[in-house]
Amino acid sequence: MCGIVGAVALRNITPILIEGLRRLEYRGYDSAGVAVLDDGNGIKRTRAMGKVAELEQALESNTANGHLGIAHTRWATHGKPSERNAHPHLSERLAVVHNGIIENHHSLRTRLQSQGYEFTSDTDTEVVAHLLAHHYSHKPDMLSALRSTLEELRGAYALGVIHQDEPSTLYCARMGSPLVIGEGSEEHFIASDPLALLQVTDQFIYLEEGDHARLTLNSCEIWNSQNRSMTYPVQRYAHAAHSLDKGEYRHFMLKEIYEQPRAVTDTLAGLLGEDRVLTAVLGPDAESRLKDVRNIHIVACGTSYHAGLVARYWLEEQTGLPCQVEVASEYRYRSVSVPEGTLLITLSQSGETADTLAALRYAKKQGYLGTLAICNVAGSSLVREADWRLLTHAGPEIGVASTKAFTTQLVALLWLTTALAQERDRAPDMIAANIRALRGLPKLIEQVLELDGVIENLAYSFANKHHALFLGRGTHYPIAMEGALKLKEISYIHAEAYAAGELKHGPLALVDEDMPVVSVAPSDSLLEKLKSNLQEVRARGGQLINFACERADLDNGDGITHIKLPWVYESISPIVYTIPLQLLSYHVALVKGTDVDKPRNLAKSVTVE
Ligand code: G6P
């Protein structure tokens, strides 16, 4: 999704902007551009379709050196991917980069055209550029022009603005799209994600919704939407810059799959006592708040939604609390009925997903007992706006296909289930067993990662397939959904997941020798039922691939492949069975030769609706 970087510094900022864009590449984009106030030559803009490397090439013939500039990676929404639609957009002597969507762009464009402004792109962003220029022609300075412009904009935006007349000033604003300010020594930066700036600073100020700011070498002035001056703490970004390297791995996705034992350990740090879970992380009055919960709603998107679906099984079984789970894009637009004492949980890797954030804001007006964000990014909008927060410590996740963020969300959710069970005096044995299982989880994941070679060989059998079916039951049904999502995201094979019991109500009609059927078969209370479902597949000539418990005793025979996993305690089994499915999709993508870390058309962080 779109990325913003900007800088005002004593040193030449072009390399900083380019490196920043490179660090945002993982979010997904189709074109890139940069505008630098080139010493003595006015604003120099360079844009290119495709990768940041292409922009760098274009810069070779249009070198720009300067101390003030903005840059952007674009993910097309209004207007197809093309150089003319790439940002920055110019008007008169100013340049603008924008993330988000200006909803009233149509009426603003018509008005500006009637005032004589000529549009050279199909984007909503160009409206902002002309509007700024228009207001600047009637106002004393850029700050006033920016304020008048913001008053007219409807929708979502993060903006970076420079003007030739103010050669040492960088302006920015945010509403509905993330933006941070980075502080250096006699320099300031902006970015849509702190990761873009870790090469120059680890000191960040997180803007609030509706804020705008004016940055120079030595000053950082921030105002809220009422133009009241605001002061926020400068926060140190905790993740080390080196974690953004692929290291010895061929892809970020593989690295992140292998980081899972560490990510789980970090997520659990300080959360487990001897035979009780430690709830202080949720705040001093956590125990009484957890006791007050009567009902749970979970809202999320994509992979995070699948984590919510697993949690519903855990929560209803282990705490007795009714739980419903919904995708945020649906939830935010319907009338929800909220029984008294309901806790709203939002799940998100990034904490910036537009629909999830909108769902949280909507929920805050619906009379919930409280809102809890389970999230991987400490300074994200979701974390800041929720009443409670529970951080997963997966570390930066760069691969678009989410892996370690998902398993750490599951860890956090099982921990929360255990905490709720504990406050309800549910069976101490179950609580102790969950704690033991969570403690042993990193080792188990390491063991399962050893199946990598076997799964790599298996991947070749998917090379010519166009469809695949994933089956699971109980908590492993959402894991089958996640396995199917991973496969389609990065190998572009159409994959669907079914609760195995539903097989004969439709999908069985699709099963033949060209349709691999992947089943998730742990040794749990539903295993016998699953075995019958698998026989239905074999009877129709379907190729079966079973990720099965070594104790499962499944039928052998032609067309059946078993990948054996160690026996695991039932609660953590969905977390363990996720690992081989991640490896399967990774290796199939390698066989198919797709762009594993940046699959086509997808974005890491979906900050527009
Ligand atoms: C995008 C990503 C997915 C992710 C989803 C939700 O679609 O490609 O990997 O699951 O957004 O993102 P979140 O950051 O809210 O978990």
Whether the CB of 350 sits within 6 Å of ligand 1 = yes
> DSSP character for 397?
-
Whether the CA torsion 297, 303, 307, 309 is positive or negative: it is positive
Does 598 map to a domain?
no
**Measured from the CB, is residue 303 less than 6 Å from ligand 1?**
yes
Residues 210 and 267 in one domain: no
Do residues 232 and 309 share a domain?
no
Q: Is the pLDDT of residue 241 over 70?
A: no
* Banded pLDDT at 211 (limits 50, 70, 90): very high
Alpha-carbon gap, residue 426 to 419, rounded angstroms: 10
pLDDT digits (tens, 9 = 90+) for 346-357: 999 999 999 999
**What pLDDT score does 359 carry?**
97
pLDDT in tens, 410-467: 999 999 999 999 999 898 999 999 999 999 999 999 999 999 999 999 999 998 999 9
Q: Name which residue sits closest to atom 7 of ligand 1, judged by CA.
A: 302
| 146 and 11 in a common domain | yes
From the CB of 604, is ligand 1 less than 6 Å away? yes
- Note whether 267 and 136 are same-domain residues: no
When pLDDT is cut at 50, 70 and 90, the band that residue 310 belongs to is: very high
What is the average pLDDT across 86-111?
94
Q: Which of 382, 335, 333, 332 lies closest to 359 in space, CA to CA?
A: 332
Query: Within this chain, do residues 441 and 457 fall inside the same structural domain, yes or no?
Result: no
Examine residue 569 and state whether it is found in any structural domain, yes or no.
yes
Q: Can you give the pLDDT at residue 76? A: 82
Tell me, using a 6 A CB cutoff, whether residue 348 lines ligand 1: yes
> In terms of domains, do 210 and 261 share one?
no
List the single range of 6-20, 367-381, 448-462, 501-515 with lowest mean pLDDT.
501-515
Choose the final residue of a domain: 394, 412, 446: 446
- Neighbouring C-alpha atoms within 13 Å toward the C-beta of 580: 33
Radius of gyration of the chain (CA): 26
Please tell me which residue in 51, 404, 598, 604 is annotated as part of the active site.
604
Domain final residue, candidates 446, 463, 478: 446
Q: What is the CATH number of the domain that holds 179?
A: 3.60.20.10
Confidence of residue 240 (pLDDT cuts 50, 70, 90): low
Atom of ligand 1 nearest to the CA of 400: 8
Answer whether 400 contacts ligand 1 (Cβ < 6 A): yes
Assess whether the C-beta atom of 408 lies below 6 angstroms from ligand 1.
Answer: no
Whole-model pTM: value is 0.78
Same domain, 442 and 456: no
The pLDDT of 324-334, averaged and rounded, is 97
Query: What is residue 209's predicted lDDT score, i.e. its pLDDT?
Result: 84
Model pLDDT for residues 465-516, shown as the tens digit of each residue: 999 999 999 999 999 999 999 999 999 999 999 999 898 898 888 888 888 9
Tell me, yes or no, whether 365 lies in a domain.
yes
Q: Report the CATH number at residue 358.
A: 3.40.50.10490
Judge if 29 and 110 occupy the same domain. Answer: yes
Decide if 59 is inside a domain. yes
Residue 593: per-residue pLDDT: 94
- State the virtual CA torsion across 357, 363, 369, 375 in degrees, nearest 10: -10
Q: Check pocket membership of 14 for ligand 1, CB cut-off 6 A.
A: no
Express as a percent the part of the chain with pLDDT over 70. 99
Longest dimension (CA), the chain: 81
Range of the domain at 488: 452-592
Q: Is residue 597 part of a domain?
A: no
Is 2 annotated as catalytic? yes
In a shared domain, residues 509 and 560:
yes
Final residue of a structural domain among 397, 428, 446:
446
Find, among 124, 202, 186, 122, the residue nearest to 159 by Cα: 124
| Predicted pLDDT at 475 | 96
369 Cα: distance to centroid of ligand 1 (angstroms): 26
Provide mean pLDDT across the span 551-556: 77
576 — pLDDT class (breaks 50, 70, 90): very high
Inside any domain, residue 244: no
Asked, for residue 603, whether it belongs to a domain, the answer is no
Indicate the top mutation candidate among 350, 406, 482 to test ligand 1's pocket, ranked by most ligand atoms within 8 A of CB.
350
How many residues comprise the chain? 609
Give the residue with greater pLDDT, 2 vs 300.
300
Q: Reply yes or no on whether 139 is catalytic.
A: no
245 occurs within a structural domain: no
Q: Is the pLDDT of residue 390 over 80?
A: yes
**Tens-digit pLDDT profile for residues 151-190:** 999 988 999 999 999 999 999 999 878 899 999 999 999 9
257 CA → ligand 1 middle, Å: 16
E-strand spans in 359-418?
A: 370-375, 388-391
| Count of domains forming the chain | 3
Strands (E), 244-399: 295-300, 323-327, 342-348, 370-375, 388-391
- Highest average pLDDT, of 120-124, 408-412, 553-557, 594-598, comes from 408-412
Whether 92 contacts 98, CB under 8 Å: no
* 439 and 402 fall within a common domain: yes
Q: Which atom of ligand 1 is nearest to the CA of 353?
A: 15
Rounded distance between C-alpha atoms, residue 321 and residue 13, angstroms? 54
CB 78 within 8 A of CB 101: yes
Given ligand 1 and candidates 27, 353, 356, 391, which is best to mutate, with the most ligand atoms within 8 Å of its CB?
353
Q: What is the DSSP string of 160-212?
A: EEEETTSTT-EEEEEEBS--EEEEETTEEEEESSGGGGTTT-SEEEEPPTT-E
Residue of 2, 301, 323, 375 marked active site? 2
- For residues 40 and 184, state if they share a domain: yes
Q: What pLDDT is stored for residue 317 in this prediction?
A: 97
Q: Are residues 213 and 264 in the same domain?
A: no
Q: Is 356 in the pocket of ligand 1 (CB under 6 A)?
A: yes
